[in-house]
Structures are given as C-alpha cells and as structure tokens.
Structure 1
Amino acid sequence: MLNRIARNVLLLASVALPSGAWAQGFVMERGEGRVIVTGIYSHSSKQFDDDGDVIDIMDYRQAQIYLNGEYGLTDDLTLLLTPSFRDISIDDRPERDETGFQFVDIGARYRVAHIGNTHFSVQAKVRIPADTFRDELAQVSIEGTAYDFRGQIGHGFQMGGKDAFIIGDAGYTVREDDPPNEIHADVIFGYRPAPRVLLLANLYNTFSDGEGRNGFPDYRYHNLFLSGVYDINDTVSLHLGGLMTVDGENALRERGLLLGAWLHF
C-alpha cells in the first residue's frame, strides 16, 4: 500500500504537534516550517479477495522512508514537498525486487476558515513517480502521475480535562496510470493524557471509483493506525506506532510498524 500509506502517515504526522497545537496540522504560520522523517516497515502474506475473504499470497515486504517538508508562505497557505524512497520484495519473485527513489509529492494546503475550535482546510497535491513499478494490486502499482484533492474539518475539545481532537478528511485521487481513481474518507482521533504525550487512532478508508484499465478490478481497503507521540521539547518529537488493514476487497492485508521524528522551526 505504498501510495496510501504515504498519505496516511503524512496526515497523521501533521496533527501530532508539540504543546497541544493540533490546529497547526492544517496550516503553518507565515515563515514557520516543519521537516518530518518517517520510516515504515510492512508486510503482507494475506490478501482480501473480491468477496472480502482472506486468502494466502506470496509475502509482500516493504521498507519506506518519507521526507516531508512544510513551509508557511502565509498564515493561511502552506507549501508541501515530499520525496520518498522504498525497498520492496515479493517472495519467490526476486525479479520484482526493487530499491530506490519512489516519488515526489508537491502541493499546498489552504485554511478556508476557523470558527472557535473548529478548523476547515483544503489541500491539493500532484504525485510524480520517480521510478515506476507495476503490480496487479493497485495499492502497490505506481506508473503514472496522480492528483490528490481533499478537504478537512477538525474540532478540538476537552475530554476528562485533557486536550483532544477529531478530524474528518475526505478526498479524491485522479490517477493517470491504469488503476482506477480513488475516493477517500478518513477519521483521526487524538488525545493528550499528559502535556508531552499524544495518543492517536486513525482509520483510513479507500474505495476505487469503479474498475481501472487493463484488468485492474474495483477494490477497497480500510487501514487502522494506532500510535503515540512524545514531545522531547517544543522543536523535536518522536512517533512510534503500528498499522494494519482491518478489511478490504482485492487488497493486501497489511501489518507494519512506523517510526518517525520531526523538527519544527
């Protein structure tokens, strides 16, 4: 799930901020920036078939690194840049093993409005593949440019006297390669039991918009991330968690770990 995991991790990291300032996950203030480094290891020896049943497959193993840069051009407009690298291997298919530069995302996020503790933003990105990789599974196959558009609504509140927030994220991805376009509907919940600790539960839902070209079927998958963030100080935070695919059709059943660190300046 190379493409989708990238979007999930970067959205997840964007709200995991020091000092409870979760709203900055939507935009940076003018002149402020953030660099996020995230590493992910995932594997899948199972797959959901077209009926949603789990079947055995050759094990997909993936190690990925994402370098996410964000910079506040104005108080309402944040520029986004994300190059990524990967190593992928498939059991009994050594000719498919690949290591190298994966893609680069270029885009922007704009704050539309905020009313009290509720924030609204929109985001657009273009994904340019650096090294193409074709696979029968659409989540793994990367051959053409993709355009991602999404809107976010976030609300901060108190729960048991502690800071908490919930974010709803909806989007649509247009793909120029053979797999179908995608519809996204995501929910993120965050809770701070202590000033420097943030707990996150994230559910990401992807649905293909019909079937693709050249034999790509329709599909869906639902990824759950459970993780924690520790703020070393107001500048540096560490992020550790796990991911799993809880349900799907024509999709890998992923299991994995993530480790991240980011610098706010």
Structure 2
Amino acid sequence: MGILRLFRISALVRICAFTFAAGLVIDARQGSVWAGAWLMPPGAGQIIASTAFSGSTRAFDAQGHLIPVPSYDKFELGGYLEYGLTDWLTLIAAPAYDRIRQPPPAASYEGLGQSEIGARIGLYRSDMAAISFEAGLRTPGASLNDTLEPFQPRRAAALDLRFLAGRNFEIGEMTGFAEAQAGYRFYAGKQPGEFLVDLTLGLRPTPQLLVLLQSFSSISNGSGGGFRHNSWHKLQPSAVYDLSPQWSLQIGGFITVAGVNSGRELGPLVGVWYRF
C-alpha cells in the first residue's frame, strides 16, 4: 500500500510539473492573455461561454483502477464573467447548466450546475508576475467527479478559497505564462471539503494563437455526508484563436487521467470569448 500511494503521489507531481492550471484573464486593451492571478483593469472585462460533452462507462475504484460502471452522458453549458471594479478588485460570476443522463435505476439530473459568484483581490503585481487571493460562493449541483457512482448524492453549497500566482516568460520570439492555484472548498451539510490544485501553461506560437495545457486536481478531506474519500486529476489541452481584438474561439478536450472513488470524464469542449 505504501508503494502504491507513493506511486500516485509521484504521478501527480509529474502531472503538476508538466502542466500549469486554470482560470484565464484577457487584457482587454491589448488582446493578450494573462494568467488568472492577474486582475482585470478597472472598467474592463471578459465573458466566456463554453459547452462540453462527456460520457463514459468507466470509473476509478478505491485502488485507483478503472472499473466498469453504468454508462452516463453529461452536457455542460457554462458562462464565466470577470469585471475589473478597481485596481485591486475583480468581480467574478460563473453560471452553469448541467444535463446528465443515466439508465434506470440510476438518477438523472437536469438543472443548475455548480455556479459561482466571487471576487479576486490583488496582493502583488509587477510586469512579470502577480499574486492574488480569490473567494467564491458556489451553489449546490451535480458533479461528475464526486463519487464512484456519479451524481449521487448531490453536492451542497460551498465556499471556495484559493491563492493564485502567475508569471510571464518568453521563449525566443514566443510569449507565454505559467500559473498555479491552490485552495480549499468548504461544503455545507457536513459534506467533506476538498483540497484543490489547478495549474496552467500557456504559450503563443503566433500572435493570434494561444496553446493551453491545464490540469485540475481535487483531493477530498475525509468522508461523510454520503461521500467516501476520493480524488481526481484531469488534463485539459486546448487552443484559443483570436478572431479579432474582442472575439476568440477555444477548442479542446479533457480527460480524467487518475482518481480514487471517482468517475472518469472524457470529451470535447468549445468556448467563445468576448472582451470589453
């Protein structure tokens, strides 16, 4: 058991070292992309509308092995809004809609996904780096990764707290950025919380094209409220193409590469970005 646990930790470290995670902010004045640790300029903002499809007949058991489970399909429609209120404060809203289908007797779900409203506070900023703190309130919603039997029980409302750090860099004539987010999510209803690590690596091979490699990880803090101890680690490569200074198109995919007592997600995603 000790060797197996050490192998999982080593695999997670390799994943985290190779990718660098979530939450992108676009500078509306220049049309360039920055990591989420940076705040939006006052009076500027962005809206991202995205859709994703996933389905699987596999899940990760208590030993981290893939096992057959009843098939499921999930359609997600999400929005993400950021608005710079001041030099040190950016407001955030992320509504979501989920449609989940499973064969009886398993429960299906259609309705509000885990939506969020929150704010990001700047702690440090220079020309090359930024550090910030983010807090958000999340609504209840079904989640594909919470249990071995997907979507049961339903997740309660939550408070999400995280620190973000990002840095810009150059490779030859290409610009890029790396960003890391680390946080904890507190759930109501005596449901166990979870540690979060999101990482993003972004690189522009051309002025109009941004290539992203992202990872998202969750590790539950114990069990309770109908939940067992679980964890999951997801990779998400994508490309964002600037159609104009205001509009961009994102195309990519995602896959849950490892987990314990959690469902596996696999599918494509498409997003449209608008800057104002």
Q: Normalized against structure 1, the TM-score is what? A: 0.87
Aligned-pair identity in percent equals: 32
Is 1:132–1:144's contact at 8 Å kept on the other side of the alignment? no
Q: Distance in 2 between matches of 1:175 and 1:236?
A: 36
1:180, CA displacement in angstroms?
Answer: 1.4
Q: Distance in 1 between matches of 2:157 and 2:68?
A: 31
3-state secondary structure, aligned to 1:22: strand
Q: Distance in 1 between matches of 2:175 and 2:150?
A: 35
Is 1:13–1:36's contact at 8 Å kept on the other side of the alignment? no
Shift in CA distance, 103/255, structure 1 to aligned 2, threshold 3 Å: closer
Residue in 1 that maps onto 2:24: 14
Residue in 1 that maps onto 2:257: 246
* Structure 1 residue identity aligned to 2:103: D
1:132, CA displacement in angstroms?
Answer: 6.8
Q: Distance in 1 between matches of 2:124 and 2:37?
A: 14
Residue in 2 that maps onto 1:5: none
Q: Distance in 1 between matches of 2:120 and 2:99?
A: 29
3-state secondary structure, aligned to 1:120: strand
Q: Distance in 1 between matches of 2:244 and 2:143?
A: 40
In structure 2, list runs of 5 or more residues that go unmatched. 1-20
1:91, CA displacement in angstroms?
Answer: 2.8
CA deviations over 1:214-249 (Å, ceiling 9, x no partner) = 3x2111110000100001011011101000011111
Matched, 1:91 2:95: no
Residue in 1 that maps onto 2:10: none
Shift in CA distance, 250/178, structure 1 to aligned 2, threshold 3 Å: farther
Is 1:143–1:177's contact at 8 Å kept on the other side of the alignment? no
Residue in 1 that maps onto 2:189: 177
Is 1:26–1:109's contact at 8 Å kept on the other side of the alignment? no
* Structure 1 runs, 4 residues or longer, greater than 3 Å off: 15-19, 131-143
Residue in 2 that maps onto 1:155: 167
Is 2:143–2:150's contact at 8 Å kept on the other side of the alignment? no
3-state secondary structure, aligned to 2:24: helix
Matched, 1:194 2:177: no
Q: Distance in 2 between matches of 1:157 and 1:143?
A: 39
Q: Distance in 1 between matches of 2:123 and 2:135?
A: 13
Shift in CA distance, 137/145, structure 1 to aligned 2, threshold 3 Å: farther
Matched, 1:220 2:231: yes
Paired residue total:
252
1:69, CA displacement in angstroms?
Answer: 1.6
Matched, 1:41 2:53: yes
Tell me which of 231, 234, 245 is aligned to 1:234.
Answer: 245
